[in-house]
Structure 1
Amino acid sequence: MLLQSFLALLLQLCLVSAAPAAPVSAQGHNTIGYGAGGGVVGFIVLVLDIIVFIEVLNSNRPVPNKVLWCLLVFFFPIVGMLIYYFFSNRAEHSRGGGYEAITS
């Protein structure tokens, strides 16, 4: 229950912080013709970070390690995600929820 509450709070904070701010021109008017590239890239990073959160929370790591990984990815979304994917030894900590091999 506490883990679900933590994940829901983390997701809400990510969605609030991912909202783009509209640039303001020198005259004080909102500019209309700016591109959507930052929004698309930001959305992709958000989705990948959520995947990392789900993978970390579903792993068999101790709770303090889960919290540290989630905080790293939360405060440093791109760098934390890359560090997690390259250095976290994910194969050792996966739950192994797949099928067992059939022995004959």
Structure 2
Amino acid sequence: MFSQSFLTLLVQFWLFAVAMAQPISATVHDNAWKYGSGGGVVGFIILILDIIVFIEVLNSNRPVLHKVLWCLVVFLFPIGGMLIYWLFSNRKAHMSGGYEPIA
């Protein structure tokens, strides 16, 4: 399904993200939006964008397995998965044209 070079690139991106991650300190800060507890404002923006990706994937006309795989990629790699989805998912071809009638 995925080529060896793509998987290697994905692993290298994940290792880079882990290496650049900043640990959350155990000290208490006055402003929870700026420090600790999950990334502050930037983390909240990434969460909102990931939720938009989940909604778009679940509303698409993809097969169920592809929906699960895209959601899993975005769940495991929030920033990288979102970027990979927006760059490589062929979104226009899988957009549903509205509601489908129930048979």
**Shorter-normalised TM-score: what interval?**
0.5 to 0.7
- 1:32: how far off? 2.5
Tell me how far apart the structure 2 counterparts of residues 31 and 46 of structure 1 sit (CA, whole Å): 23
Tell me how far apart the structure 2 counterparts of residues 79 and 63 of structure 1 sit (CA, whole Å): 22
2:65 maps to what in 1? 64
Structure-2-length-normalised TM-score: 0.63
Taking only the aligned residue pairs, the percentage that are identical comes to 64
Summarize the alignment of residues 1-104 of structure 1 with structure 2, pairs less than 5 Å apart. Answer: 23-24=25-26, 30-32=27-29, 36=34, 38-97=39-98
SS of the aligned residue for 1:95 comes to: coil
What residue identity is the alignment partner of 1:32?
A: H
- Check the 8 A contact 1:22/1:31 in 2, yes or no: no
- Check the 8 A contact 1:49/1:77 in 2, yes or no: yes
Tell me how far apart the structure 1 counterparts of residues 51 and 28 of structure 2 sit (CA, whole Å): 31
- Structure 2, unaligned runs of 5 or more: 1-22
- 1:31: how far off? 4.0
Mean CA deviation greater in 37-46 or 84-93: 37-46
Larger radius of gyration: 1
Structure-1-length-normalised TM-score: 0.62
SS of the aligned residue for 2:29 comes to: coil
Number of paired residues?
A: 73
Q: Deviation digits for residues 26-49 of structure 1, max 9, x if unmatched?
A: xxxx24367706310000000000
What residue identity is the alignment partner of 2:29?
A: I
SS of the aligned residue for 1:85 comes to: helix
